[in-house]
């Protein structure tokens, strides 16, 4: 089968590798659509330490069951599916308590780090354990289904925030997960939403999707703008979907006393922190890691047309062109770009 492999940082090869064979409790999936995540683009350059070459990246994908293991009971050949990005054991204390994203033996698809190497979905076929795979209805396209994973990430992060209906929530960033978060916040909670970013095109989309206010950090002093909007108090909750030192520091500055800061992104392994403000204002900082059971909710939202993803698909390309695309996006940073969907069956472009 064909696979797109990161051979060295920012060096891709489209090569033939052996087609995998499922074990007794595994399924073989023919990948039909695989979305390129921002973490793939950052990781391919070596900044995150989570894509150590060689590795087949890709963790947002969908496809068709081609073969099932002898002990598989939930799937048959031809089923349309998507899957969790985390392979979890289902047996450790965290899995038993419903926190599969914190599994003691977790392995994330398309990630290689000091602890493990787990090849991902930028290939024609992938073998996965049955328990992390989910059926998708015929009403959802494979392209749409590949975005159920980042929608789930946004859902999980919002749950960590423990939103109150009187909250004012700031979303930092205007990428795919940030704007999925805007939609979900508007759908699930009657709160005021402020989006902070730098990309005018994406901030206009944020307003279309439900943001009450937008702040361009290139044109406005964010702290002053937030204080003006909130009568000097600051926001109750912050969701950082950008993951830069600037947004991490910004979150601390714009929170009111007792506020909650949830972060789900990191472009670098570590950031500096103003501990004095954290302590004296009794702020809460929470990490949000992947998701834990939200994939079924995301699929239902897509099936019922309750969340938009059309704007988030900026390009569709054959898998063979994926490496060149990632290199170009990392180099050029095109304005207004969200996601590219790679098609291993080499179908057309958008």
For residue 306, count other CB atoms closer than 10 A to its CB: 11
H-run or E-run covering 215: strand 213-216
Which among 59, 76, 81, 63 has a CA at the least distance from the CA of 137?
81
For 188-236, what is each residue's pLDDT tens digit? Answer: 998 999 999 999 999 999 999 999 999 999 999 999 999 999 999 999 9
Distance CA 314, CA 193 (A): 25
Tell me the per-residue pLDDT of 33-45, one tens digit each, with 9 for 90 and over: 999 999 999 999 9
Angstrom distances, CA of residue 43 to CA of 6, 10, 37, 109: 10, 9, 10, 13
For 105-153, the pLDDT digits (tens) are: 999 999 999 999 999 999 999 999 999 999 999 999 999 999 999 999 9
pTM of the predicted model as reported, rounded to 2 decimal places:
0.95
154-287 belongs to which CATH class?
A: alpha beta
Query: What is the phi/psi pair of residue 268, to 5°?
Result: -135, 155
In the chain, CATH 3.40.50.720 sits at 154-287
Whether the predicted pLDDT of 346 surpasses 90 = no
Q: Measured between alpha carbons, how far is 345 from 222 in angstroms, rounded to an integer?
A: 45
The set of residues, in sequence order, having a beta carbon less than 8 Å from that of 90 and lying 6+ positions away, is: 100, 103, 131
| Residue carrying the six token digits 């988030």 | 312
Cα distance between residue 263 and residue 38, in whole Å: 15
DSSP 44-98: HTTSSSSBPSSB----EEEEEEEEE-TT--S--TT-EEEE-SEE--S-SHHHHTT
| DSSP-based three-state secondary structure for 18 | coil
What CATH topology corresponds to 2-147+309-343?
A: Quinone Oxidoreductase; Chain A, domain 1 (3.90.180)
Longest dimension (CA), the chain: 63
| DSSP result, 114-148 | SS-EE--SSBSEEEEEGGGEEE--TTS-HHHHTTH
Q: Where, residue-wise, is CATH 3.90.180.10 in the chain? A: 2-147+309-343
Residue 332 confidence class, pLDDT cut points 50, 70, 90: confident
349 by Cβ neighbours in 10 Å (0-12 / 13-18 / 19+) ranks as: exposed
Residue 4: beta bridge partners?
14
Residue 345: pLDDT band (50, 70, 90) is confident
Q: Give pLDDT, residue 299.
A: 98
Q: What is the DSSP letter of 6?
A: E
pLDDT over 80 (residue 30): yes
Q: Supply the pLDDT for residue 269.
A: 78
Tell me the average pLDDT across 56-70: 98
- Model pLDDT for residues 19-28, shown as the tens digit of each residue: 999 999 999 9
292, two tokens: 């834990």
């Amino acid at each position: 089968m064909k696979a797109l492999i990161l051979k060295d940082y920012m060096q891709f090869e489209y090569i033939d590798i052996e087609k995998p064979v499922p074990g007794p409790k595994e399924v073989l999936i023919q990948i039909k659509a695989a979305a390129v995540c921002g973490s793939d683009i950052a990781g391919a350059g070596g900044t995150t330490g989570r894509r150590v070459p060689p590795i087949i990246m890709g963790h947002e994908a969908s496809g068709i069951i081609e073969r099932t293991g002898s002990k598989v009971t939930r799937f048959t050949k031809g089923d349309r599916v998507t899957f969790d990005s985390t392979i979890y054991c289902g047996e450790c204390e965290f899995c038993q308590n419903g926190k599969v994203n914190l599994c003691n033996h977790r392995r994330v698809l398309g990630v290689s780090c000091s602890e493990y190497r787990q090849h991902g979905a930028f290939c024609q076929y992938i073998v996965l354990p049955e328990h992390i795979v989910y059926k998708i209805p015929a009403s959802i396209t494979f392209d749409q289904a590949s975005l159920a994973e980042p929608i789930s990430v946004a859902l999980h992060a919002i749950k960590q925030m423990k939103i109150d209906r009187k909250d004012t929530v700031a979303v930092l960033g205007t990428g795919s997960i940030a704007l999925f978060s805007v939609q979900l916040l508007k759908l699930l909670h009657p709160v005021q939403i402020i989006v902070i970013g730098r990309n005018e095109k994406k901030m206009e989309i944020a307003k279309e999707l439900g943001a009450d206010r937008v702040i361009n950090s290139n044109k406005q002093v964010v702290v002053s703008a937030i204080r003006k909007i909130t009568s000097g108090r600051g926001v109750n909750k912050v969701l950082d979907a950008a993951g830069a030192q600037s947004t991490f520091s910004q979150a601390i500055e714009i929170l009111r006393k007792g506020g909650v800061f949830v972060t789900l992104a990191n472009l670098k392994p570590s950031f500096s922190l103003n501990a004095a403000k954290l302590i004296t204002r009794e702020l809460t900082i929470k990490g949000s890691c992947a998701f834990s059971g939200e994939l079924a909710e995301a699929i239902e939202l897509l099936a019922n047309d309750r969340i938009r993803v059309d704007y988030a698909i900026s390009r569709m390309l054959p898998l063979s062109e994926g490496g060149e695309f990632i290199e170009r996006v990392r180099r050029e940073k095109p304005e207004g770009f969200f996601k590219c969907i790679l098609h291993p069956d080499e179908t057309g472009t958008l």
